[in-house]
Amino acid sequence: MKWATPSQLRKQGILGMNSRNIDYIGRSNERRLYPLVDNKLKTKNAAIKMGMSVPKLIGVVEIQHEIQNLERLLDGIKQFVIKPAQGSGGRGILVIKDRRGDDFIKTSGELVSFRDIRRHTSNILSGLYSLGGRVDVAMIEDMIDFDPMLSKYSYEGVPDIRVIIYHGYPVMAMMRCSTHASDGKANLHQGAVGVGIDILSGCSLYAVQNGNKISQHPDTHHSFDELKLPHWDEILRLAASCYEMTDLGYFGADIVLDEKNGPVVLELNARPGLAIQMANQAGLKKCLKTIDNMKLIKQPLNKRIQLAQQLFAAQQR
Amino acid sequence: MRVSPQLQIILVAGVIITLGLGLTLYKKFELGFPLTPGQQQVVWTIESKISFKPVGGPLEIAMVLPKPQAGWNILDDHFASSGFDFLIHDVEGQRQARWLRESLDRKTTLYYKLEVYRASAFDLDNSPLPKVLAPELTADRLAAMESVISLLKQYLHDPLVFTKELLGLLLQGDNQDLAFLLARQEDRPLDMIMDILALADIPYQAVKGIFLEDGRRRQTLDTLIEIHDGERWHTFNPLSAEQGLPENFFVWQRGTKSILNVMGGERSSLEFAIVKNKLPIKTVLFMEQHLEEQLLLDFSIYSLPVEQQGVFKGLLLIPVGALVVVLLRVLVGIRTAGTFMPILIALAFIQTTLLAGLFVFLIVVGMGLWIRFYLSFLNLLLVARITAVVILVILLMAALSIVSYKLGFEQLLTVTFLPTIILAWTIERMSILWEEEGGHEVLIQGSGSLFAATLAYLLMSVELIKHLTFNFPELMICLLGIVLLLGRYTGYRLVELYRFRDLGKLDE
């Protein structure tokens, strides 16, 4: 239970909150670029323009009046997700996995009626789930059938892969697995498990929950040791290519593995948290400094990934 | 040449910190301002407002000025008399101010500000006995007064006891004759007392002055009464029957002569605004000697009108509270709900005292949160929801005041000092936080905010800090420099040393 000293943390190259805000977010992210990542609808449109794969958009409800068209829009669609474009922390996301008669079945198995779905959409529009209660729009998109290989590492939720991208280079990655404690959400501070992923191979490194190292998923009891993410190179390419799309110098890309479509971009985050360092048992600042010191002018995507995999592979640490 | 932002900040901060410290040291060593509060002297600033409405024609306003007596000293006085001819001259040993003007067509206010302190509490000295004229009274009033005097006739030989008994009788309020006299009296009971004293052949005179109370805005002149027992004068408060000159009574003038005379005007009034300052004795003595000479002093907060001085006493403490919040957030890593909420809460604590303030805050916010949860079911728009919460907070505050007053907990009445809008925003933010992040986060940020507010309050109520902020506002420039530096601090926060404790020991 002993605290670390600042010099110990500095030696390990741990990134602190003040340094993240001033040295990285403040220096490399221009404010005018934020709306693109803070609004999932804008992110998705930009990603489609760049030819990146994203969950398919079924429709958008922008004003309360349009909720009337919802039934026609969802006609014949069995699986879908309704979410607020500016929601935070996974709030307001309704996932429907099947229909039974006139009713819909949520991932948890609970039955909801069409009236419930209409009310949920109305709540999204009035800003119930968005930061500061801003008026929002509701997006309806295809449900992600996540790779069955990953299902043993997640409880009642979609596991996603967060990759930190610095000046276009993927520097650190982790998989976030929802748990019973996190209520199906993939947020580490709510109790989800973070699994550090080796940039070179896509293999798991360590797993942490609430800041403590663990070896198996607390609900499914599967060991994280054998975890090796499929399509790893493709995931890295997709995440790193978001740099061209956003122009942000420092951000986190959230990628999900879809069974049919492979890796898809779920959302981007201009202020990614620091917990990824614990999942990797390594300091971020060390990696970020390496890139700063290289003083590289813009490199093509392939070159960047190749370089990052050499520099940040786990055995290099 | 381009200077990096880091270096710029350090340069700018260095220059302003040096400037602030330099000014402070200059005041300390060249002007002799004491850095520590030391022994305190209460100094009262009295601002007299003379208001009147001209009736046309030439104007002449004369006011008798106070002179130092009964231990009161006058540190400094100022007049504001724009557009008037102004002079001060002596009339029968009393200083008198005179404002003159050919004509004026609107309602006007003249100001006279003075700073006084009471070095030691003497009684009033012996002044010659005034000529007491027999009062002109109607027959029934004369009869009533004589009946009162005959009731107290066994004390007539001793004027002191007689006055005491008379005032005591008045205070009891069950004497028929006195009740009759008071019912018919158009003026104050004071005139009646003086008439009775005159009838009883006791030498008396009025003592006009002001009861000094911090923060009073529209105080008017009060009158005490003094009687002569053959040897010396004794002062009485006619309303409370207490003997002796009250500690906080500033004597303006002895005798029945009127203080203010307005010729060529009507509806004149004389009101006082009063602010209490605690100043180091050294500063007081220093100001007595040098006030006019120094440019820096002439531009100090002491040169402002009294009401603004009072406001600045509080305002100058805000940067100290803000510094506490910045330190806690940047260096320690405590999460607070909003940046300035803790400072405003701390300012409110100064009025409410800490424990009552904390208690009231928790109750109002707790109940507000509870009701706000119901509101969230109604799906209101943001502006309407906040307004609803503001109304609820005011209702809660009123309810809390009434209930606590009825139960006899008068400390809780200070709930009105808590800023309503801040409470409403706190409730709104906390309830959103609750829905988004859960009750755990509300607890962390809520207690973080209260911790910061408490710490800021404790710091802001330290006598030395109050002294420094008010007497050396230059130090605020230093604070600015420190805050600029903190704004570029990229080191670890204290909580991160705990959060990343395992990562720090990877090599071991």
| Residue to test with chain A: of B330, B485, B497, most A Cβ within 10 A | B497
A4–B333 C-beta distance less than 8 A:
no
A3–B496 C-beta distance less than 8 A:
no
B503–A282 C-beta distance less than 8 A:
yes
Q: Are A202 and A278 in contact (CB under 8 A)?
A: no
Mention every residue, 6+ apart, whose C-beta is less than 8 A from residue A252.
A162, A163, A164, A165, A268, A269, A272, A273, A276
Residue B439 CA to chain centroid, in angstroms?
41
Q: Cα–Cα–Cα angle for B89, B90, B93, nearest 5°? A: 165
The angle that helices B475-487 and B5-29 make with each other, rounded to 10 degrees, is 160
Q: Are A301 and A214 in contact (CB under 8 A)?
A: no
Domain boundaries, chain B: 36-128+210-225+249-293, 139-209+226-248, 314-472
Residue B179 in 3-state DSSP? helix
Q: Are B217 and B307 in contact (CB under 8 A)?
A: yes
Residue B459 pLDDT class (50, 70, 90 cuts): very high
Question: What phi and psi, each to the nearest 5 degrees, are found at residue A298?
Answer: -50, 125
Residue A164 pLDDT class (50, 70, 90 cuts): very high
Contacts of A91 in chain B (CB under 8 A): 435-436
- The topology under which CATH files domain B36-128+210-225+249-293 is Immunoglobulin-like (2.60.40)
Residues of A with CB under 8 A from a CB of B: 1-6, 8-12, 14, 16-19, 22-23, 88-89, 91, 122-123, 126-128, 132-134, 190, 211, 213, 277-278, 281-283
pLDDT at B508: 60
**Domains assigned to chain A:** 6-52+147-316 (3.30.470.20), 57-142 (3.30.1490)
B489–A127 C-beta distance less than 8 A:
no
A5–B497 C-beta distance less than 8 A:
yes
- Count of alpha carbons within 13 Å of A258, Cβ hemisphere only? 16
B404-443 residues touching A, CB cutoff 8 A: 432, 435-438
pLDDT at A88 over 80: no
Strands (E) located in B132-240? 204-211, 222-228, 233-236
> In chain B, which residue's Cα lies nearest the Cα of A89?
B436
pLDDT at B296 over 70: no
pTM higher than the cut 0.80: no
Contacts of A22 in chain B (CB under 8 A): 488-490
Q: In what order do the strands lie in the sheet with B233-236?
A: B233-236, B222-228, B204-211, B249-254
Of B381, B385, B504, the CB nearest to A9: B504
Long-range contacts of residues B215-220, Cβ cutoff 8 Å, at least 24 apart:
B215/B274, B215/B275, B215/B276, B215/B310, B216/B272, B216/B273, B216/B274, B217/B273, B217/B307, B218/B271, B218/B272, B218/B273, B219/B271, B219/B272, B219/B273, B219/B274, B220/B269, B220/B270, B220/B271, B220/B272
The whole-angstrom separation of Cα B120 and Cα B154 is 37
pLDDT at B120 over 60: yes
pLDDT at A92: 83
CA distance A7 to chain B (A): 9
Tell me which of B67 and B329 has the higher pLDDT. B329
Contacts of B385 in chain A (CB under 8 A): 133
Cα torsion B488, B494, B495, B500: sign:
positive
The whole-angstrom separation of Cα B229 and Cα A146 is 105
pLDDT at A114 over 70: yes
Looking at every residue in chain A, the average pLDDT score rounds to 88
Structure-token pair, residue B446: 């809520």
Contacts of A132 in chain B (CB under 8 A): 382, 432
Percent of chain A with pLDDT over 90: 42
Q: Are B347 and B314 in contact (CB under 8 A)?
A: yes
**Residues composing chain A:** 317
Structure-token pair, residue B448: 């973080």
Contacts of B498 in chain A (CB under 8 A): 3-4
A19–B503 C-beta distance less than 8 A:
no
CB-based contact, B504 to chain A, within 8 Å: yes
The predicted model gives B117-133 an average pLDDT of 73
Torsion angle, alpha carbons of A12, A16, A19, A21, to 10: 140
Buried/exposed B135-171: b ≥16 CB within 10 Å, e otherwise: bebeeebeebbeebbeebeebeeebbebbbbbbebbe
Q: Is B242 exposed, middle or buried (0-12, 13-18, 19+ CB in 10 A)?
A: middle
Sole residue written with tokens 């997709």: A238
pLDDT at B38 over 70: no
Residue B335 in 3-state DSSP? coil
Residue B220 pLDDT class (50, 70, 90 cuts): confident
Residue B274 pLDDT class (50, 70, 90 cuts): confident
Of A6, A190, A278, the CB nearest to B492: A6
A23–B490 C-beta distance less than 8 A:
yes
A123–B379 C-beta distance less than 8 A:
yes
pLDDT at A276 over 80: yes
Sole residue written with tokens 């309050």: B457
CA distance A221 to chain B (A): 24
The whole-angstrom separation of Cα A198 and Cα A174 is 8
Residue B143 pLDDT class (50, 70, 90 cuts): confident
Structure-token pair, residue A140: 């309806």
Contacts of A28 in chain B (CB under 8 A): none
- CA nearest B207: which of B262, B142, B130, B136? B130
- CA nearest B50: which of B86, B75, B14? B86
| Residue to test with chain A: of B500, B505, B506, B507, most A Cβ within 10 A | B500
pLDDT at B299 over 70: no
Distances (CA, A) of A203 to A179, A195, A229, B381, B499: 21, 10, 6, 47, 25
Mention every residue, 6+ apart, whose C-beta is less than 8 A from residue B269.
B49, B50, B51, B52, B220
> In chain B, which residue's Cα lies nearest the Cα of A279?
B503
- CA nearest B262: which of B57, B35, B40, B30? B57
DSSP letter string over B16-29? Answer: HHHHHHHHHHHHHH
A126–B499 C-beta distance less than 8 A:
no
pLDDT at B267: 83
The whole-angstrom separation of Cα A154 and Cα A134 is 32
Contacts of B491 in chain A (CB under 8 A): 6, 16, 18-19
> First CA to last CA across chain B, in angstroms?
46
CA distance A110 to chain B (A): 21
CA distance A129 to chain B (A): 8
ipTM of the complex: 0.84
Contacts of B434 in chain A (CB under 8 A): none
A8–B504 C-beta distance less than 8 A:
yes
Tell me which of B231 and A70 has the higher pLDDT. A70
- CA nearest B204: which of B176, B236, B177? B236
Helix (H) or strand (E) holding B117: strand B108-118
DSSP state of B139: H
B432–A14 C-beta distance less than 8 A:
no
Q: How many CB atoms lie within 10 A of CB A1?
A: 4
Structure-token pair, residue B170: 């008045």
> In chain A, which residue's Cα lies nearest the Cα of B432?
A132
Of B382, B493, B501, the CB nearest to A133: B382
pLDDT at B215: 77
The whole-angstrom separation of Cα A286 and Cα A20 is 13
Q: Are B348 and A93 in contact (CB under 8 A)?
A: no
Tell me which of A304 and B439 has the higher pLDDT. A304
The whole-angstrom separation of Cα B229 and Cα B227 is 6
Contacts of B490 in chain A (CB under 8 A): 16, 18-19, 22-23
> In chain A, which residue's Cα lies nearest the Cα of B496?
A16
B436–A89 C-beta distance less than 8 A:
yes
Residue B7 pLDDT class (50, 70, 90 cuts): confident
DSSP letter string over B230-256? Answer: SSSEEEE-TTT--BS--TTEEEEEESS
A128–B379 C-beta distance less than 8 A:
yes
Tell me which of A131 and B219 has the higher pLDDT. B219
Tell me which of A224 and B383 has the higher pLDDT. A224
Question: What phi and psi, each to the nearest 5 degrees, are found at residue B92?
Answer: 50, 50
> In chain A, which residue's Cα lies nearest the Cα of B333?
A17
B385-405 pLDDT tens trace: 778 888 888 898 888 888 888
Mention every residue, 6+ apart, whose C-beta is less than 8 A from residue B238.
B167, B170, B189, B190, B193, B223, B224, B225
Structure-token pair, residue B317: 């403490």
The predicted model gives B6-28 an average pLDDT of 88
The whole-angstrom separation of Cα B20 and Cα B13 is 11
Torsion angle, alpha carbons of B157, B158, B164, B167, to 10: 40
